[in-house]
Amino acid sequence: MPESSTYLPAEWHEQSAVQLTWPHSNTDWQPILEDVTRCYIDMTKAIASRERLIIVTPNPEEVEHLLANNLSDESMQRISFCMAPTNDTWARDHGFITLLSPNGPRLLDFKFNGWGEKFAADLDNCICRRMAEQNIFKGDYEDHLDFVLEGGSIESDGKGTILTTSHCLLAPHRNQPLSQAQIEARLLDALHAKRILWLDHGYLAGDDTDSHIDTLARLCPDDTIAYVQCLDKDDEHYTELSLMEAQLQEFRTTEGKPYRLIPLPMAKPAYDEDGTRLPATYANFLVINGAVLMPTYGEPATDLKAEQQLRLAFPNHDIIGIDCQPLIIQHGSLHCCTMQFPIETL
C-alpha cells in the first residue's frame, strides 16, 4: 500500500488503543453483571498491559475504582475514560471505523441501529460523537450517519480488500432500498477500498447480527484467512459452513493466488436456560500489539486446538485466552466487545 494512500488498516497494524464500553446495571447484563464484569476486567488486564485502553461508561469513577483494585499502577496509567450514557456494550459495532491517510487519521462514524432495529441503540449511536466532543482522538471526524454499518461486519487486509457477508449487509432494516451493487459502491468509496469479497454462506445459531464476518472468517497476515469449520454432519451448521468453506477456497488474492486457509474448530454447543443455542465462535478474536486475545469456552481440548490454529495464523504474536462464557449469554464474544484504533489516533 503506497504511503500516500488513504486506507482501512488491518487489525494487526500497530495500534494506539482499544475501546471497551463497560457493562452496567441498566444494560441487559444486569442478571449476570458480576460474571461479565470479571470478563471485562480480564480483557482490560490483557489490553492495558500492552497498549492504551479507552473505557466508555456512564460511571467513570465507579469503574476506575473497580479497576484500581485489580490492575497494576502501570496498567492503570494506560487507561482513559469517556463519560457517555450507553444502551449496551458492543463497541465493535458502535465504535469509530478509522482510516489512515497522509493527513492523519479519519474517524468514520456510521449509523448503528441495533443490528437492523432489533434492539435499542439510540445512546450507543451517539458514542462516537461524544468521544469526538471529549477530544480523545486526533484526526478528522467524518459523518456517515446516513448509512448503517457495524464494525463487526467488515474485515480489512490493509491492502484494499474488504471481506464481508451478504447476509448482513443486505439484511432487513439496514440500508434498504439500496442494492448490493449500490452498497458495494458506497463501501468502496467510504473505506477507500479497491474491492470487496462477499461471503454468501455461513451463520451461527443464536447470532443477532445477521452473520457478522467476525463470527465466521477473519483476514490474517500474509494472505491468510482463519475461519470456522464444521466437520460434524449432524450439526445444524454443517451445510452452511461447508458452503462457506468452499467459497473461501474459491477466493483469490489481488495477485490471483488462493488464500492460505486455517480452519478453526467449532466450539462445543452451549445453550441458555431456555435451550437456545449460543453463538460461541473462536473466530471472534482480537488482535492487539504483539498478541491475539482469543475467546475460550470452558472446553480445554477445543480451546487448545483453536489456540494451536491461531498460532499458525499469527506466529509472531502471543495467544492469550480470555474466558468468554459470560459474553455468549448475550449472543456476542470478545471481538464484539472491542474496537481498535491504529497508531497516531490518540
CB of 21 closer than 8 Å to CB of 47: no
CATH superfamily of 15-342: L-arginine/glycine Amidinotransferase; Chain A (3.75.10.10)
Residue ranges with strand state E in 169-236: 195-199, 217-220, 224-228
- Locate the domains of the chain by residue range: 15-342
CB atoms near residue 82 (< 10 Å)? 17
Q: Tell me the pLDDT band of 4, cut-offs 50, 70 and 90.
A: very low
Give the CA dihedral 95, 188, 287, 167, nearest 10 degrees. 80
CA distance 285 to 84: 26
Residues 59-69 have pLDDT tens digits of 999 999 999 99
Residues 219-262 have pLDDT tens digits of 999 999 999 999 999 999 999 999 999 999 999 999 999 999 99
pLDDT at 189: 97
Query: For 6, how many CA atoms within 13 A lie in the half-sphere containing its CB?
Result: 16
Residue ranges with strand state E in the chain: 15-21, 52-57, 79-83, 97-99, 106-111, 140-148, 154-156, 161-165, 195-199, 217-220, 224-228, 260-264, 286-288, 291-296, 318-323, 338-342
Q: Tell me the pLDDT band of 1, cut-offs 50, 70 and 90.
A: very low
Residue 154: name the closest of 9, 14, 293, 327 by CA: 9
Q: 55 is written with which cell numbers? A: 473505557
Average pLDDT over residues 177-198: 97
Q: 116 is written with which cell numbers? A: 437492523
* Positive/negative CA dihedral, 86, 91, 94, 97: positive
Strands 286-288 and 291-296: antiparallel
Place of cell 471481538: 335
pLDDT at 118: 96
pLDDT at 310: 98
Which residues, other chains included, contact 56 with Cβ-Cβ below 8 Å and sequence gap of 6+? 19, 20, 21, 22, 81, 82, 84, 86, 91, 127, 130, 131
How far are the Cα atoms of 45, 145, 230, 337 from residue 38, in angstroms, in the given order?
11, 33, 30, 14
Q: Tell me the pLDDT band of 2, cut-offs 50, 70 and 90.
A: very low
Sheet holding 140-148, edge to edge: 97-99, 106-111, 140-148
CA distance 167 to 306: 25
- φ, ψ dihedrals at 35, nearest 5°: -65, -45
Residue 20 reports pLDDT greater than 90: yes
Average pLDDT over residues 191-197: 97
Could you give the 3-state DSSP secondary structure of residue 51? coil
Residue 3 reports pLDDT greater than 90: no
Mean pLDDT of the chain: 96
Residue 36 reports pLDDT greater than 90: yes
Could you give the 3-state DSSP secondary structure of residue 111? strand
